[in-house]
Amino acid sequence: MSAEAPGQNEHFLRVIRRRFRNWRGTRPFWAGLFTLFGGVPIAYFPYANLHLGNLTLAMSTTGGAGSLIIGVLLFTLGLTMWFHSVVRVFAGVAAIVLALVSIPVSNLGGFFIGFLFSLLGGALSISWAPGKPAKPAGDAEPEQAAAPEGEADAMPSAVTEEPVPNETETTAHANGGRNSAG
């Protein structure tokens, strides 16, 4: 190893941060994070006890099991958005539906905290789309120079459309007048 080798003097935290940013950029990270944060208060508040001095308030409800199921499902959907981003649309719709169901089932959706986080995470998951990879600099096609105004009509265009031999406007005219039902 030489002292001038590239990458050897880079701090390990910089490498970890760069790898995390690359990983985060290939999936709906913020959607998963908001959905995870939305599931926690929905699952927690029905089982919480609030202590105010010597007074204990138990917020246990009959929907405690439903709240726990909704919270765990939202937590799982958040992880799914991170680690299996192909199903991001399904996970987003499911997160929105579970957030709406949590309003009557789980103390107004975790006192609207979990509801809002889950709703935002589901919407972000539905709207996220993977980015297109950037083209390398060498693959760029050179643009054609613009022709002077007078010569623009005289020059043939580079792209010509050839008619397809058996193309018809409707399916009723295709296949000798026979129409297919499927």
User: pLDDT by residue (tens digit) across 32-58?
Assistant: 999 999 999 988 887 777 778 888 776
Whole-number Cα distances in Å, 116 to 43, 95, 102: 14, 11, 11
pLDDT tens for each residue of 136-174: 776 555 555 555 555 555 555 555 666 555 555 565 555
Give tens-digit pLDDT for 109-138: 778 899 999 999 999 999 998 877 777 776
pLDDT at 5 over 70: no
The values of phi and psi at residue 53, to 5°, are: 70, -120
Do 56 and 50 touch, CB atoms closer than 8 A? yes
**How far lies 19's CA from each of 15, 23, 24, 25, in Å?**
6, 6, 9, 10
Beta bridge partners of 50: 57
Q: What pTM was estimated for this model as a whole?
A: 0.64
3-state helix, strand, coil in the chain (%, to 5): 60, 5, 35
pLDDT digits (tens, 9 = 90+) for 26-39: 889 999 999 999 99
Q: Residue 147: its pLDDT value, please?
A: 53
